[in-house]
């Protein structure tokens, strides 16, 4: 008999999920919000004397070999993952982007990005991570109905997790995340979640992957009011999965976690978990024992009351008291949103961060010893636009910078201790 979703959560080490939302976009060495995301890039670069910063690194996938000095201590790096483990007692990392692209000649066996070093390091620390089918894939493959691209992307990700012929999952893989907030993103078609589930399940079935090696699945929606309740944006996905002959209600019962990204108080979310959501599940026919997780949780949408670092800390403490105490059995936990500032976001979201770059005026002093000082990494990477679109290895750089902990960071650490 296959596991239920709640049993699968326990089997994958997610029964008490203590996570961090992770997307470490570096700043310029002087602390300014450069390199910019304008045009889809993050880094300042010069190639043959020409400034190409707006074309060189076009995605936001940081969980690959190119960025080892951010997530690990290799070469004197910042070692973010070990920091999460040691300072926060985290056991989960919420990733957002995973470039599945392949191109002849790319150095990682044809893959544009090599995620294995990140996965290996996370596993060595006992951390589980999301395997994200990103919003970029939602836009390019699913909103457009490009089934060939859907299949190619899924196959690339699948082979990176299971090997080209294997049936055993990489030990760091914890959740297959299908899109982020699809209720407000790209073509805003939440039913497409079922399409992605069906593509992935077909790969599992074709390979004969045993049930114990099949990932739980999550598709976080916003906490905006939808279909009768806050956080109800996932309803179309439930309906599409239920009605899909390749999936059905059984697939939901065995694989799916219901996820939303709230910023409300701990008391508000306790009421939602204990009263609002169970009644809505019953009304919509959603299985009552569906596990629930907050994939983003942290500072309030008005930047906390009062809007100071201490106000933020008090607010976050009340939120993560809920995570510590878990008012219902199927509530798994939450991910702190977010580790470091995303300078490309519109206000007030850059200030949801739990850390500050030390180089900035209010950066303060870091309690984490790495890096010993800020430095720039000279790196090569595969640019699919090089060589007239045939792809080529290019030189580039990124910055590794110290981060100081805000008071809210330590509040989460207290609530994550077990």
pLDDT digits (tens, 9 = 90+) for 147-178: 999 999 999 999 999 999 999 999 999 999 99
Residue 217 CB contacts under 8 Å (≥ 6 apart), including other chains: 175, 176, 177, 178, 197, 200, 255, 256, 257
Domain ranges of the chain: 5-416
* Separation of alpha carbons 246 and 119, rounded Å: 30
Task: For residue range 404-416, list pLDDT tens digits in order.
Answer: 999 999 999 999 9
Per-residue model confidence (pLDDT) at position 271 = 98
Q: Tens of pLDDT along 334-377?
A: 999 988 876 666 777 767 889 988 887 666 899 999 999 998 88
More confident residue, 364 or 180: 180
Q: Which residues contact 347 (CB under 8 A, 6 or more apart)?
A: none
Give the residue-averaged pLDDT of 210-232: 98
pTM listed for this prediction:
0.93
pLDDT of residue 143: 98
Q: How far apart are CA 4 and CA 212, in angstroms?
A: 11
CATH code linked to domain 5-416? 3.20.20.80
Q: How confident is the model at residue 379 (pLDDT cuts 50, 70, 90)?
A: confident
CB proximity list for 234: less than 8 A, separation 6 or greater: 183, 190, 219, 221, 258, 259, 260
| Position 284 pLDDT exceeds 90 | yes
Give the separation between CA 339 and CA 334, rounded to whole angstroms.
13
Question: Across the chain, what does the average pLDDT equal?
Answer: 90
How far apart CA 326 and CA 289 sit, in angstroms, is 15
DSSP H helices, 208-265, are 235-243, 248-255
* Rg of the chain over all Cα atoms, to the nearest angstrom: 21
Q: What is the mean pLDDT of residues 56-67?
A: 78
Asked if 256 contacts 8 with a C-beta cutoff of 8 angstroms, the reply is: no
Confidence of residue 92 (pLDDT cuts 50, 70, 90): very high
Is residue 355 within 8 Å of 405, Cβ to Cβ? yes
Tokens for 110?
Answer: 């044809």
**Beta strands at 355-357 and 229-230: parallel, antiparallel or unpaired:** unpaired
Place of tokens 């059984």: 250
Omega before residue 277 within 30° of 0, cis: no
Residue 188: pLDDT above 70?
yes
Give yes or no for a contact between 139 and 188, defined as CB atoms under 8 angstroms apart: no
pLDDT band with cut points at 50, 70 and 90 for residue 26: confident
Three-class secondary structure of residue 410 per DSSP: helix
Confidence of residue 28 (pLDDT cuts 50, 70, 90): low
Range in 5-14, 25-34, 387-396 the model is least confident about: 25-34
Indicate whether 42 pLDDT > 50: no
Q: Which residues contact 161 (CB under 8 A, 6 or more apart)?
A: 131, 169, 170, 173
pLDDT of residue 82: 98
């Amino acid at each position: 008999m296959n596991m239920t979703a709640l049993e699968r959560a326990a089997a994958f080490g997610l029964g008490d999920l203590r996570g961090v939302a992770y997307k470490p976009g570096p700043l310029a060495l002087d602390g300014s919000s450069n390199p910019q995301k304008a045009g889809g890039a993050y880094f300042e670069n010069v190639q043959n004397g020409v400034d190409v910063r707006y074309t060189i690194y076009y995605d936001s996938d940081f969980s690959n070999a190119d960025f080892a000095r951010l997530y690990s201590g290799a070469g004197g790096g910042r070692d973010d993952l070990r920091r999460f483990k040691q300072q926060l007692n985290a056991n989960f990392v919420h990733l957002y982007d995973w470039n599945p692209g392949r191109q002849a000649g790319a150095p990682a066996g044809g893959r544009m990005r090599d995620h294995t070093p990140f996965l290996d390091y996370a596993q060595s620390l006992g951390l589980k991570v999301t395997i994200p089918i990103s919003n970029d894939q939602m836009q390019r493959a699913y909103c457009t109905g490009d089934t060939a691209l859907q299949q190619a992307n899924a196959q690339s990700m699948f082979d990176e997790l299971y090997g080209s012929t294997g049936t055993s999952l990489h030990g760091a893989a914890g959740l297959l995340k299908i899109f982020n907030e699809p209720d407000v993103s790209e073509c805003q078609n939440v039913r497409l979640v079922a399409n992605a589930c069906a593509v992935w399940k077909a790969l599992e079935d074709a390979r004969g992957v045993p049930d114990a090696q099949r990932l739980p699945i999550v598709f976080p929606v916003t906490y905006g009011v939808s279909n009768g309740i806050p956080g109800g944006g996932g309803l179309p996905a439930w309906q599409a999965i239920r009605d899909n002959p390749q999936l059905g209600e059984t697939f939901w019962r065995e694989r799916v976690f219901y996820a939303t990204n709230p910023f409300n108080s701990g008391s508000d979310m306790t009421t939602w978990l204990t009263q609002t959501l169970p009644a809505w599940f019953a009304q919509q026919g959603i299985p009552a024992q569906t596990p629930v997780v907050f994939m983003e949780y942290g500072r309030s949408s008005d930047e906390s009351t009062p809007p100071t670092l201490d106000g933020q800390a008090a607010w976050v403490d009340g939120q993560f008291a809920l995570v510590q105490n878990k008012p219902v059995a199927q509530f798994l936990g939450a991910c702190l949103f977010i580790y470091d500032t995303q300078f490309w976001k519109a206000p007030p979201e850059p200030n949801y961060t739990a850390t500050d770059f030390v180089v900035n005026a209010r950066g303060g002093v870091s309690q984490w010893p790495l890096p010993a000082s800020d430095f720039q990494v000279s790196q090569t990477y595969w640019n699919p636009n090089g060589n007239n679109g045939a792809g080529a290895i290019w030189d580039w750089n990124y910055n590794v910078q110290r981060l100081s902990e805000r008071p809210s960071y330590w509040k989460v650490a207290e609530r994550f201790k077990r």
